[in-house]
Structure 1
């Protein structure tokens, strides 16, 4: 396969078009993955055992922590490779990609080694007990050892996006979703493996996704060089400067999810099952929102690397505009289809009323989550990844626990969802304000008033010392 043009494609042309194309193509891949996750719940619900759906919900909460680490590392790869391509430094781009890939492999091996012996305690932290906890533990023992595979595929996809290859970044996820969709009914029903069959299908899908993503990155762009210990050691500090805040910021999301799950557990397995369905449904319906940060990040990075700060600011506003239109359309669609959606899961009682609540006004709250994603993309790609960490943790703690406790005390399980949405609105406003301050003066710390331009611009624009 011929080597593709690696020019900085986002530094020219319509930014709304770039935002739309990158977001939709990224979301298609995400939607394929999350749609299969949603089908998992549908299939598991067909088995007629509520504890299986609840176990899947608890396991998903734990898995989110591991996915968050991998997402943080993929953010690092996208930011570093995007800046390098924008500055027309292809060798830098390859070295960065290789170093982050090695780091993701090491982390992906260490995390399961630490977590699996303590899986019962981790499940207890999110409220799982008894047979439900045992079922969730069996599910996690199958999936968590493939954390390394998932991390490597995410890094490769982020590198493809950094080169502007929207379609190439989409196809691996589509392949993984297809593999999962085929194997799910075969393993769950035909072979009678139940919840463990769903886990094994996910493992196969991760392997397929990683193989295609790495293949595209290597054969289309020669995006990775042969990793050498001295190169990884040299790049580690620079990569860690983005990776650690990005990982910490991303890990905040499952912390918030765990808080909400634990509070929802007070209202019974029916409420947890309803939350599990919502948590699986949201990524499918609002996959474009979830994809927005990863999709818009390379646009920020390339234009910043090329010194086009005017286009950086325009990208921010175009991202918010695109987000608002999409959320309005999808929220209206959910409202119209709320009855069939509840019927699909045979939802009754609390579970059904929670689905109706979400498919009504609460779906609009996805705009606030998306606004935080757009702001975080600006922080991570303009040299202020620490702000992403701060905003995410504030939103998932101060913007979650007090709100779900207060409104849960008033309206029970429904109040938990309402409180989560209102907390997001407060911190979305903070994120937008801070994002605009960073974009208007990216070389100045808007909170401390310190100028960081010389060091930052040398890191972003100049050649590195190894040449």
Structure 2
């Protein structure tokens, strides 16, 4: 019997949700590939935007956009944390064949997420001078970052809404349309960035304006797919929103705290690199763009296995949950080894493309040579966190992410910088991730065994 994606219409659904049958490895690969394609498109666009800025031959501008991106990473990380309860609750409801509940949860979650996205912008904007100063921005670098953020931050609510709709599509098993929604951001940015940055001579402000227009497209395309292809939004009501807020925030609060660890660590690392001048900050900015493009498969994997685990938990298929985690690790290891080889071979073209000055080029090369071991253990934390967030253990995700970002990074990066300069700081990031990565993945398997033994009721 042909199985349609779960949630393909308002009133009719397949007897068996899409992730509860078939090869778990296939589900992991399909969800990761489609999610990765969308992420790579967005990350490449970010990479190309910084590439355009670097062609202006102004290290202060490159550094300013890099610092602004680190600040924006905080708002995006909060959005990602808010995606997690939407994906977990909707996929779990669909796995248990509670489709009316899935529609209600999708609607409530989208409204809550968009409202918080707006609140984050309103809170952050007045504190930009304090935030940028703490990160070491000064002079022209500060001015560029400040202007960029005042243009791009106010539309964070649109980004939050688009991310919510994309998550609903993935929870329903419709990875393809979720990818298309994400690709809309890339299409708009590719078309408009050269026009605004160069043709209209808006430079870094042009890149920020493009971000806003791309977010409008993302929200619109995601809304069309969720409503027309799946009819997974119900008529909103205050009663439903208040009812769903409790389970939503039970997952969202620890998930947000978990996701804030990465931008906090990035901000700390940027502060360390700022000690060595604009060229070191520019290197950090380039690395921050190269990493997401190169390791997009890992980021996509962390998002991909959530709906698979959620639906199988709803169906009480613990055997498939364990196998999903094993398949994820197999894919992750092979992927990272391949990317490491590619970065090692492309280190020279990368620094040439960015017109990198001497210190910037040296640091980017150094990262390319050591990226594999660093990201192998960081990725273990990513995969484990995806399991924790979708299986009712979000506080474990918070613990491991903050543990890696604080005890596993700050002392190693700080003393590494004191001993070996910016290269020592880069080495410190990798060294501190080893223990937390191994412990996190072992704990992830333990949580599944515990759920199976106790047959924990679905919240």
Shift of 1:242: 0.4
Shift of 1:443: 6.5
Task: Spell out, residue by residue over 1:346-401, the C-alpha distance to the aligned partner (whole angstroms, 9 max, x if none).
Answer: 12321111111111122342222221111111111111111111111111111110
CA distance in 1, matches of 2:295, 2:131: 28
Given that 2:318 and 2:452 are in contact with CA atoms closer than 8 Å, whether structure 1 keeps it comes out as: no
SS in 1 for 2:355: coil
Pick the aligned partner of 1:216 from 205, 222, 225: 225
Moved over 4 A (4+): 4-7
Q: Report the TM-score, using the length of structure 1 for normalisation.
A: 0.94
What's 1:448 paired with?
none
| Structure 1: stretches of 5+ with no match in the other structure | 445-450, 460-467
- The count of residues paired between Structure 1 and Structure 2 equals 449
CA distance in 1, matches of 2:373, 2:192: 34
CA distance in 1, matches of 2:18, 2:106: 19
CA distance in 2, matches of 1:353, 1:369: 23
CA distance in 2, matches of 1:443, 1:118: 47
What's 1:226 paired with?
235
Shift of 1:150: 0.6
CA distance in 1, matches of 2:373, 2:165: 32
Matched, 1:408 2:417: yes
CA distance in 2, matches of 1:155, 1:277: 28
SS in 2 for 1:124: helix
What's 2:271 paired with?
262
Aligned pairs for 1:232-243 within 5 A: 232-243=241-252
CA distance in 2, matches of 1:158, 1:328: 29
SS in 1 for 2:136: coil
Aligned pairs for 1:16-415 within 5 A: 16-415=25-424
| Structure 2: stretches of 5+ with no match in the other structure | 1-7
What's 2:5 paired with?
none
Given that 1:289 and 1:366 are in contact with CA atoms closer than 8 Å, whether structure 2 keeps it comes out as: no
CA distance in 2, matches of 1:391, 1:50: 35
Given that 1:383 and 1:442 are in contact with CA atoms closer than 8 Å, whether structure 2 keeps it comes out as: no
CA distance in 2, matches of 1:400, 1:17: 35
Question: What is the aligned-residue RMSD (CA, Å)?
Answer: 1.3
What's 1:465 paired with?
none
What's 1:457 paired with?
457
Task: Spell out, residue by residue over 1:210-250, the C-alpha distance to the aligned partner (whole angstroms, 9 max, x if none).
Answer: 11111111111111111100000011111111011111101
Q: Report the TM-score, using the length of structure 2 for normalisation.
A: 0.96
What's 1:442 paired with?
451
SS in 1 for 2:432: helix
Given that 1:175 and 1:209 are in contact with CA atoms closer than 8 Å, whether structure 2 keeps it comes out as: yes
What's 1:9 paired with?
18
Shift of 1:5: 4.4
SS in 1 for 2:457: helix
Given that 2:173 and 2:307 are in contact with CA atoms closer than 8 Å, whether structure 1 keeps it comes out as: yes
Given that 2:374 and 2:429 are in contact with CA atoms closer than 8 Å, whether structure 1 keeps it comes out as: no
